[in-house]
A = this chain, B = another copy of it.
């Protein structure tokens, strides 16, 4: 399934979001413009698509939804820029990162600029609820990331810890994307809840698949190196299952204890690939996709609702 297929009901609007994003790099100060042009290229646009789709059930007001969708995407990009700066990552979306080209300092400040710009787009909706959602989501994401760093190379983490972490760092932004679309289109509270929960569960599934792909994907598909979670000491679901399945002489244990990292990352990847862990993880992700969709039938039946259901399938099928 192609992602673009599911975007059908909002194809034209997504192009307008892209135009809005492009216009962000049109600033007087040419160094900043260069950084912005570099970072505003690429991306699957799944978060802004969700905002637009979730805004299609009631009063579809593009004057509000377009800036919100652009704000959601800029928000996401800002977090990537800071993540890459922090992790000293070299490649993202198949292209060199801001920090690799211009240094960590500029990446941090560019991220700040992008958060502000995302906030500006959100503020143009003049919707106080969407604005508050924006700030609270940034609090959730950054505290989740701080949590992740404090737990790096910590073997004593439970599945609940994992779920809480990905809920903060990923699902919160997805649920903001969907909830803001609902709120801005005057959806009744019951529908807001359904769409927020869709976004939340979608986000959990999305992150679980991301964490699987860090083991079974290829650098070419992913646009970034494989095994990077292990390299950063982030204990994801596949690594947790690996620890459960092979409690003795486990490569994750060894590399978390700072033994020859490269060798044991390689071993862990091979072990996951040739085990039922991949299927277990996909089943787990699938259960969240089902949860995401379980109440969609309570919403008005339209092309957008069908697209949301299809998108949930895409999460599992995606290879990048």
Contact = CB atoms under 8 A, between A and B. Distances in A.
Given A115-B115, A119-B134, A109 B142 contact: yes
A31 B120 contact: no
A149 B112 contact: no
Nearest to A143: B32
Contact of A116 (B82, B111, B142, B146): B142
A115 B85 CA distance: 18
Contacts of A228: none
* Total identical chains: 2
Interface string A95-118: 000000000111011111101110
A203 to B, nearest CB: 18
Given A32-B147, A105-B86, A113 B134 contact: no
A300 to B, nearest CB: 30
A32 B119 contact: no
A27 interface: yes
Q: Classify the secondary structure of A's interface with B.
A: helix
Contacts of A85: 108
A145 interface: yes
A146 B82 contact: no
B135 A123 contact: yes
A193 to B, nearest CB: 22
B108 A149 contact: no
Given A131-B123, A138-B115, A105 B29 contact: no
A120 B135 contact: yes
Given A29-B143, A119-B119, A134-B119, A149 B113 contact: no
Given A85-B108, A131-B131, A135-B123, A113 B143 contact: yes
Contacts of A145: 109, 112
A126 interface: yes
B108 A147 contact: no
Contacts of A86: 104-105, 108-109
Contacts of A135: 116-117, 119-120, 123
Contacts of A32: 143, 146-147
A138 B86 CA distance: 21
A128 interface: yes
B139 A113 contact: yes
Interface in A45-90: 82, 85-86
Given A123-B131, A126-B128, 12 more contacts: A29-B146, A35-B146, A82-B112, A86-B108, A106-B150, A108-B111, A109-B146, A112-B141, A113-B146, A116-B138, A117-B135, A120-B135
Interface of A: 27, 29, 31-32, 35, 82, 85-86, 104-106, 108-113, 115-117, 119-120, 123, 126, 128, 131-132, 134-136, 138-139, 141-143, 145-147, 149-150
22 contacts: A27-B143, A32-B143, A32-B146, A32-B147, A35-B146, A104-B104, A106-B146, A109-B145, A109-B149, A111-B112, A112-B142, A113-B138, A113-B142, A116-B135, A116-B138, A116-B142, A117-B139, A119-B119, A119-B138, A120-B139, A126-B128, A131-B131
